[in-house]
Every structure is written in C-alpha cells, then in structure tokens.
Structure 1
Amino acid sequence: MNAEISIIWDKMQKMVNDFLSLLPNLILALIVFAIFFFTARTIKRVVRNLTRNHRQARNLGLVLGRLAQGTTVLLGLFIALSIVIPSLKAGDLIQLLGISGVAIGFAFRDILQNFLAGILILLTEPFQIDDQIIFKDFEGTVEQIQTRATMIRTYDGRRIVIPNSELFTNSIIVNTAFSHRRFEYDIGIGYGDDINTARQLILEAIHETDGVLQDPAPDAIVVALACSTVNIRARWWVQPPRRADVLKVQDQVLTNIKNKLMSNGIDLPFPTQQILFHDQTEATDGDRTRQREGWPSKKGQDPQPRSISDAVSKLAQIKNQRNGNAEQDNR
C-alpha cells in the first residue's frame, strides 16, 4: 500500500515539476499570442480607416482587413505552439493544418461556402453598404457585409440576416445602383374624354412637381383600353433613387395629377359594368339565332312572349285532357 502511494506521489511530483518547467514557455506563448491578436485587430482597423472615405474601396478594405487579421492571428498561433512545444516543427504544423482543414471542410461545408461567397461579394461588389436592395421577399438598406452573412435593415425597422451563399447564387435587385431611377403609374380616364388633352395635363402636373428630373423628360403613353377606362401610363425620373425620396415625390406627383385632371373636367371613372339580358322566350328557347343580348332587333322580328293567362289556360287544357283519357281507360 505504501509503495502504491509512493508511486502516485512521485507521478504527481513529476507532473508538477513538468508544469513548472513548462510554465515560463506557456506564459511567453500566451504573451506572444496576445501581442499578435491585438496587432491583428489594429491592422484590421487601420485598413478599414484607410478605405472608409472611399465608397468604391470600402468593401475591398473590409476583405483585406479581415484577411490580414486572420493571417496574423494564425501566425501568432503557430509561433505560440512552437514556444510551448519546441519539438513541433513548421512542417508538422502545416501537415496538421492540412488534415484538419479537410475534416473541417466536410463538417462546416455551409459555413465555408458562405465565407467564400462573402469574400466574392466583397471583391466583385454587386452591391455595397448603404445600397437599397430587394432579395426575394426582403427589401431594405444594406448595413453590413460580413464574410458569413449580409445584414439589411428593412424600411419598417427590422434587421434581416441573409447567408452570403444565397445572395451570391440568386438574383438581386439593387434599387440604388444608378444615380437616378424611373417610376410609373397608370391613370384611368373616361372614354368620353380627349386623350391628348388628358396627356398634356398629366405632363404639366409632373413638370410642376419638385424633385422630378427634367432630363430624362417625363412622358405619358396610352397602355390599355380597359373595361371602363382608357389607361394612360405616367412615367417620371427621380434622383436620388432612395425609398424615402421616391415616396415623397410619388405622393406629390399623384396629388398634382389628380387635382389637375379634376379641375379641368377630365373624368376619373369608377369601374362600371353593363348587364345585358337574353330576350329568351318560349318561342326562341334553344334557338340562339333568334336570341339577342339586350341589343334592339329589327322591327317586326321580335319574338312575342306568351302571357301568364295563356300559359294557365294551356295547363288547364292539358290537365282536362289527361283526366278525360283516364276516364276512358277505366271504362
């Protein structure tokens, strides 16, 4: 029993002595890694600050900053491990990193896919920070483009996090990609109104609206002869094409158009329906060549419907005839 306790005690002493002998290297490794870690953060911040005021280079600065940070941290980790384990060589670290990379690649395929897609988005710049985009059912302003996901802020104050792989492989509408943008709205006038007069009034109302560009010039074209209206499509250009400005200009344009048309006697009709009844009678039942749908016929060719009294008399006559036949059968 004493021998076993002595063996255990010797092992514990050896472990303590090994830890104490390793402690200086461990502390030095932690210090070195901390230096590299904070240096990486500083490098990332410096790169971002250098490109902060340049819109075109902002995304490139994000990519370079994150790559520089990751490379510096990884280098610090290698140096710290070589301090703690002096027998560990650079070739062993690279081999270990390769084997681990394959395993991590299979285990975290989606994460790596989003990471690579994020890098490509930041480099190719299909959209940038502060752009307003539409992706599927989501619309808002791009707040951040991270290496894993992109965050957009919707117009009603919500945040949407979209994986970069979906953004990279699907269609995106960038509303603020260009300096100005065209908008349109269909206005229905009555069939009795003059189209040229209505078109001229619509253009005057658009030109009188603040915020509408004169070049390219607004226009108004007839697009449909609908059931109860003649539809004229008004089109105008706005700069800048941000949603708040767009809604403000559209509100004023439509208000001016409505007031201008109404004050000049142009009708803005409600949807109407005309119901036409078939003039179907007993005489024309089943004969579509003699039936019309409410339109007047030629004089003298209208089918004459039977009166109620004639129909009742005919029914009584049929009934009496049936009763007479029954009596004859009984005899």
Structure 2
Amino acid sequence: MATTFRTHRAGDAAALAALTTLAMPQDAVDVPTLTENVLLDENFQPEGLIVAEHDGVPVGFVYAVTSAGAGSGQEAPGGWLTIGCVHPDHRGRGVGTGLLTRAVRYLAERGAAWVNVAAYAPAYFVPGLDVVAYPEAARLLEQHGFTRLYTAAAMALELSTYRTPADVLALAEERTAQGYQLGPATPDDLPEVIDFAGRELAPDWADAVREAVLRHGHLHRLRIVRGPTGVAGFAIYGAYRGLRERFGPFGVDESLRGTGLGKILLHHTLTAMRAEGAHSAWFLWTGEDSPAGHLYRRTGFTVTRRFDVLRHELTPSTQTTRERSE
C-alpha cells in the first residue's frame, strides 16, 4: 500500500510521540511535551501538522508554523519547521521528501518569505538540527535548498564537585560595596525583571520568566543583580518544563558587561542549583565564540551537542497565483 499524507486529526498525539522514540531517539518527546509545543502553540493550525501514513499507521510527520502573531521581530514574515521525523524502516521511500515539500508549500501559501528549521521562539524543541545525530535529515534538507544560518552549542557542567571559586566570592564583595545587590527575586521584583528581560535582552526571555513563575512557582530559582539604577541582570533555572537542572535564560545589561557581574551572577546561580540538589547544569543554546560562550567555557561548561539553524529562502514562484495577485 502506498504512503498517504494528511493533516492533524484526533488521536495523533500519542502515535506521533511514540514515533519520535524510534525516529529521533536523542530528541524523543512525550505526549505532554508534544501537546504543549504543537497542539497548544498559539499559532497552531491543523493544516500545519502534516502526517505520513502507511497502512493507516503514522510513519512520519512534520510541524510547520507561520510567524503570524508570533512576535518574531522579523521584517519579512517567515515560517518554521519545529519538529519532524520519519520511521527508520520507511526512509529512502520519498516519505521525507513528501513531508518537506508539503510543509514548505503550506508555509509559502500563507505568505512566508523564508523557512527555518527550528529556532522558533514561542515553542521550540531544540535550537536546530543536530547533523551528527541525523545525517539523513541533513542531506534531505540540503537537497531541498536549506543552508546553514549559524550553529548553536548545547553545554553542560557537572555540579557534584562544584564549589564557588574564591576569586568570584572576592569580586562579589567588591561589587556589593559598590552598591550592587545579588539574590533571589521577590514578587515585587517581577514586573521590573520581566520588563528588563524583554527590553534589554530578548522578548521571549520575558515570556520565559513569566511562564516559569506562573507554571512552576519556585520564585527562588530566579536570581537577580540590582545596581544603583535598577535591575542589571538575571539568571533562572527550571524555567522550561520545570526541569531543575536546565539553566537559563541568563543575561546582564550590555553596558555593564566586563564588570564581572555576569560571572558573579552565573556562579551565584550555580551555587543555588547545587544547594537545591542539582547534579548538573545544562542548556541548549549559546554561540561558542560569543562573550557568553567564553564565560561558560571558563566556568567549566563543555559542549555536549551542536545544532545547525537552517534556512530556505522562498522565491515568489513558490507562492500560489492567488497570493501573488493579492
């Protein structure tokens, strides 16, 4: 029987989550995670969740979503492929090509000027494609015009033997004497921290802080540094899915970088994580050669995986005649 393609319907969530354990084992997701990041995505449309079936059984799927209402900050509207896979036994039979071409066409029909693989801020699973773990997917995407925008590094630090360095403690004393205050956030700090995160760092970081406190509580996991003029930086752990050992987001006012406040805040947060019983600290995204990347390495973090953010620029010919005339 030939493979058929359709869009989302009731009963898919469990089957698709089970499929990820076979087709993408390093990034398998459970039903609650798939539900939160796809079915409850604020931009979800059933036509964007495309499923490949063989003999009535799902053997592949892809989720495509447009930027309409996503607050992407991009001048041109875009689209994302946030998750997708094909059962190992059905690869090489055109299933991946069928899913990919349908997903790109779906996004083009809705006015997307480009398509990214992952890097969808409102609800992403991973930052991009791990080409080492999934070389077949990398080849497929390359064949269909996707090229690398940048590479994100995931890092981790073992905390079982962690202790706050003496030089960090000394530097913290100096900054305290200069009027900086370091500690857990209070409820009254939240409006200012959320405003700072969205205005000075990234809009989705403001959302991450707000959602973390609303969903999981644990306000003590939000650590801030205050200066003479207000909030100067923050770090949080357990923000995503309540995972205690997941570190971040983390950032300091750009005008204060080079003062050591980021270093102090990072170690302060790691100390709090260790005190709470965390055995490691890990995160999914940083630029290896960025200031943050260098800070993490000096702290002892090591790269665990790398993810390529891929993009395919859509040409006007990709769009339908109806859209070109509008």
TM-score by length of 1: 0.20
Higher helix share: 1
Work out which structure has the larger RCO, using CA pairs closer than 8 Å and 6 or more positions apart in sequence.
2
Higher strand share: 2
TM-score by length of 2: 0.20
Larger gyration radius, structure 1 or structure 2: 1
